[in-house]
A and B are shown apart, each in its own frame.
Chain A
Amino acid sequence: MKTINKIRLELADWLYNAGIVGVANILDANDVAYKRGINYIEFEETALENFEEKYFKYFIDKYKKFTSWYNIVKYEDVILNFKEENVDEEYLENINKQIDYVKEKLKSASYKSAYVIIQNKEKDLLKEEKQLNKIKKNKKQKVEDVLPNIKEQLNRMQQIIEYLKTDEVAKIILAKNIIYDIIAKFWSDVSFLNKNNNKKNMYEEYRIYFVDGTLQYIEKIIEKAKYKCFVCDRKISKLSKPVSYDLTWINKMGVDMSRKTSHFWDLSGDTFICPICNFVYSCIPAGFTVIKGQGLFINQNSSINNLIAVNKHALERNTTFEELEDASYFSIVENINQNKVEQLDKEIENIQIIKLDSTNVVRPYTFNILSKDKLKVMNGNKKMLQSMIKVKVKVGTKEYLNLYKEVVTRLYEGKNQFDLINQLFHLRLDKKFNKLHFIDMIIKINNNFIGGREKKKMVHHKVINDCKGFGLDLRISYVNKKAENKLNGISYRLLNALKTKNTSKFMDTLLNAYMYLNKQVPTIFIEGLKDTDKFQTLGYAFLLGLQGEEMKENKKDDIKEDMING
């Protein structure tokens, strides 16, 4: 009986790890069992049977909705729901736009190269393309006059869609889409990405180049072989394909890769890797998540489970890269096991965040480090941060501020939030923002952040709440005195004093405000006079209370929102 070989892939540098996550993702998507160790995955060689199918299935499942194939096919809804009475100028314009799009795609090089591969020749899409034409209507004509033509063109499109939806056609065209949109951002030159193989079946090409060699290799690893794989140290007997491979086909890795701590090479071509590693590298695109040419991989390598979990993303058609990033940061924090707080220090490692920008030919990859300290703050403020996800604040006619992003970015960059808090207050005073409880959260998160760096700069939460209370009291007194109209002016002056960290200007305004009421000034502020961070925390908390009334009004909506986000 033949023994079944096992393949173990151990974590290494980020690039290799992306490949391992890719392999795991592909296996997961195809319900293939494999073992997850702490720092490795292990699977039987049978997992590689039909791996080419599994490989493309993974990408197609994940990215289908982003492809041109999908853009063409999803129009079926419109066609099937077509009703003559709904047709108007706008509707016609929409159809024509779609016709343009379909024509452009059908005659594109990528589609043309797919036609050659497709066995099902039932339809000639190039001919179909020529027959599909925009609906022309002169000025004298009404929409009704061109109805027959509309129906005809929609019918043509429907025929095309039906053909595109057949299994084989979909499989090939989607694979072409995926290769172009995703895989080619990471590697080139070999297998189906070799120019000579453009018109060959990509599934075949993948199997031949990446899978067959691996299977042959694991059948007989020669322990006495002369050479070693640069990445995994497995023995290799020859420095030529299909026994060993170079790394020149992997797209530029950027400057950071030359650091000696990383498993790295000089890309000169004399570095050789075994077929297994070659296979792993082919799965890098499946380890990243890519949206519109931008890719993200988070090298949280404290364990395989974490690594796979933080890189798992459910994408929607309209998911933006920014949202993807936000969600990832959040899932990093989610993945920190916080059952045992005392273990937090051990458990949190610095985490590398690798971003791919495929439009940057010279340095497509950029690297960021998420430090322990920052993660701790994130972890400690998880709930508040979570409620900010998807909260957008309008700051210009078309400009929006993504609150979560703003806060998290500052935390990651080790900056305080005072500028953001100030900006939000300005928007609030200009009546462009009223979700005051978010300002409250940001003040508290920021206070925790400041306290995390220097304990004595932190203000007790009770003191923050007291300051808010004083602000609210002052507001109520002004309202009772029918002097509510003065509050905006006071708020603006306080806000400007806080922005410039001018304590005397702040106290001046405060004293004036209290004097007007013949009331004492809360001495709580004296504590803040000794430290600008404290001063700002207390000052903004007071200012928040001073806006009090609206805070209550909005409470209901806010709770609802939190529930949606939470």
Chain B
Amino acid sequence: MRLKCEYKTKEIPVGYNMLLVSLIKEALKKSDENYFNKLYKYDENIANKRSKNFTFAAYIKNYERAEEIFKVNDRVILNISSPDLEFMINLYNGLLKLSKFQYKTFELYKLKIDLIKEKKLATNEVIFKTLSPICIKNKNNYFMKIEDDKYIDELNYIANLVLKNYRGEGLRENLMFMPLDMKKVVVKEEIRGFKSKTNRKYLYVNSYSGTFKMKGNVKDLEDLYALGVGFKRNQGFGMIEVIG
């Protein structure tokens, strides 16, 4: 299931992913606090870092860059995908309630929510494009280059984990990944925890966006299409769309 939620705002930070994560969490909390706690908290105050069954991507329509913010002339569009119907119902109900969202000094006003039709996958070989960039890390937490021989292994590793998390069953078949036209993107991400440890304001996430071909089991591809590909899917990475 895919939702598209459009917002009016004057500006948005360049590293806007955290704002959007916060928006999603706020929406879930508004809809069903218990559900939110179940999803994001282990205990009262301990965060649940287990990967969640959704991915998202944002698109800013008509903007100008000014230092660390985008000036938005038109609107911000948030796309969220998940095969988890409980999540989506709660999210929708929450987003609906949240007509205004405040994050620091930024104010977002909801314009409308739509349901986006998902495409039906018919073959075991599909060409996708990224809606938000794909991020792959290795065991040492280093962002991987797409040229790296191990890139595809790590992609398989995380896909297996994500599927297992969602449906109890990991990958049915190994994934083949062929970049067609992928470009490196460095996403500037502001993280409070990170800042305090390193004394730097931003985390620079190396990731890739563009088009690629993926081959594998059809059901695996279907679920990954809905769940997203790679790491940091719940923070605005790895959302993909079928092309052609």
Which residues does A use to contact B, with CB under 8 Å? 503-504, 507-508, 511-512, 514-515, 518-521, 523, 525-526, 529
- Identify which of B32, B89, B93, B114 contacts A507 (C-beta below 8 A): B89
- Identify which of A504, A512, A521 contacts B93 (C-beta below 8 A): A521
In the bound complex, do residue B92 and residue A511 qualify as a contact, i.e. CB atoms below 8 Å apart? yes
Please measure, in the bound complex, the distance between the C-alpha atom of A526 and the C-alpha atom of B93, giving whole angstroms. Answer: 13
Of all chain B residues, the one with the shortest Cβ separation from A528 is: B85
**Chain A nearest CB: distance from B157 CB in Å?**
27
Q: Which residues of B contact A507 (CB under 8 A)?
A: 1, 85, 88-89
In the bound complex, do residue B113 and residue A515 qualify as a contact, i.e. CB atoms below 8 Å apart? yes
In the bound complex, do residue B89 and residue A526 qualify as a contact, i.e. CB atoms below 8 Å apart? yes
In the bound complex, do residue A515 and residue B92 qualify as a contact, i.e. CB atoms below 8 Å apart? yes
Tally inter-chain residue pairs, CB-CB below 8 A. Answer: 42
In the bound complex, do residue A504 and residue B85 qualify as a contact, i.e. CB atoms below 8 Å apart? yes
In the bound complex, do residue A504 and residue B83 qualify as a contact, i.e. CB atoms below 8 Å apart? yes
Please measure, in the bound complex, the distance between the C-alpha atom of A27 and the C-alpha atom of B34, giving whole angstroms. Answer: 72
Please measure, in the bound complex, the distance between the C-alpha atom of A442 and the C-alpha atom of B32, giving whole angstroms. Answer: 33
In the bound complex, do residue A504 and residue B86 qualify as a contact, i.e. CB atoms below 8 Å apart? no
- Identify which of B1, B90, B113 contacts A523 (C-beta below 8 A): B90
Please measure, in the bound complex, the distance between the C-alpha atom of A495 and the C-alpha atom of B72, giving whole angstroms. Answer: 43
User: Interface digits, B83-99 against A, CB 8 Å rule (1 contact, 0 not)?
Assistant: 10110111011001100
Q: Which residues of A contact B191 (CB under 8 A)?
A: none
Interface assignment of B115: CB less than 8 Å from any CB of chain A: yes
Q: Which residues of B contact A521 (CB under 8 A)?
A: 89, 92-93
In the bound complex, do residue B115 and residue A512 qualify as a contact, i.e. CB atoms below 8 Å apart? yes
- The A-contacting residues of B in range 62-114, CB under 8 angstroms, are 83, 85-86, 88-90, 92-93, 96-97, 113-114
Of all chain A residues, the one with the shortest Cβ separation from B226 is: A504
In the bound complex, do residue A518 and residue B88 qualify as a contact, i.e. CB atoms below 8 Å apart? no
**Chain B nearest CB: distance from A413 CB in Å?**
32
Q: Which residues of B contact A526 (CB under 8 A)?
A: 85-86, 89-90
Of all chain B residues, the one with the shortest Cβ separation from A520 is: B93
Please measure, in the bound complex, the distance between the C-alpha atom of A511 and the C-alpha atom of B89, giving whole angstroms. Answer: 8
Please measure, in the bound complex, the distance between the C-alpha atom of A504 and the C-alpha atom of B118, giving whole angstroms. Answer: 11
Q: Which residues of B contact A519 (CB under 8 A)?
A: 96
Q: Which residues of A contact B1 (CB under 8 A)?
A: 504, 507-508, 511
**Chain A nearest CB: distance from B31 CB in Å?**
8
In the complex, 13 of the A-B residue pairs with CB atoms within 8 angstroms, ordered by the A residue number, are A503-B85, A504-B1, A504-B83, A507-B88, A507-B89, A514-B92, A515-B115, A520-B92, A520-B96, A520-B97, A521-B92, A526-B89, A529-B86
**Chain B nearest CB: distance from A2 CB in Å?**
85
- Interface-centre pick from A511, A514, A529 (highest chain B CB count, 10 A): A511
- Identify which of A512, A518, A523 contacts B89 (C-beta below 8 A): A523
In the bound complex, do residue B92 and residue A523 qualify as a contact, i.e. CB atoms below 8 Å apart? no
Please measure, in the bound complex, the distance between the C-alpha atom of A512 and the C-alpha atom of B116, giving whole angstroms. Answer: 10
3 cross-chain pairs, A with B, having the tightest CB-CB distances, nearest first: A520-B93, A507-B85, A526-B86
Q: Which residues of A contact B114 (CB under 8 A)?
A: 515
In the bound complex, do residue A511 and residue B86 qualify as a contact, i.e. CB atoms below 8 Å apart? no
Please measure, in the bound complex, the distance between the C-alpha atom of A514 and the C-alpha atom of B97, giving whole angstroms. Answer: 13
In the bound complex, do residue B96 and residue A518 qualify as a contact, i.e. CB atoms below 8 Å apart? yes
Q: Which residues of B contact A508 (CB under 8 A)?
A: 1, 115
